Amino acid sequence: MIRLETILTPGRSLVNVPGGSKKRALEKVANLIAEQVPELEMQDVFDKLIAREKLGSTGFGNGIAIPHCRLEGCTAPVSALLHLDAPIDYDAIDGAPVDLLFVLLVPEAATDAHLELLRQIASMLDRKEVRDRLRAADSSEALFQVVLDVQNEH
């Protein structure tokens, strides 16, 4: 099983991110990932995430979105976690605005292991106390640490 801390880094865990709109938040994600993972292009990441949203919103409810896509040139799963400075409209299933985005990019030839990662993220964010801890984190390190702690509790 792939563990979340192997695909998420403190540098890709950001708090107080200016959101503004769904498009702007995904742009921010794409920029962040392209800066940190040189083999991935910002525009590719952005286009693929937007294309995935057009199939159906990745807003899961309770202020959570899990934007995800398969990506050519991506050799291993890459994740990012953003807590926005203010909730944004995200067309989530419950209609609630979103302030936590847990992004997952997987290789084009995604496998069951990658689906398992998506399930892990969704079930972690399904717990109110985890969402509360993520929202209370006041730094990138603290946000990343919540994910580590939650992983180690299991």
Distances (CA, A) of 116 to 1, 2, 34: 8, 8, 24
Query: Of 68, 83, 114, 154, which is the active-site residue?
Result: 68
154 catalytically annotated: no
Among 112, 36, 45, residue whose Cα is nearest residue 74: 45
Q: How far apart are CA 56 and CA 92, in angstroms?
A: 9
- Secondary-structure breakdown of the chain: helix, strand, coil percentages, each rounded to the nearest 5: 45, 25, 30
Positions marked catalytic: 68
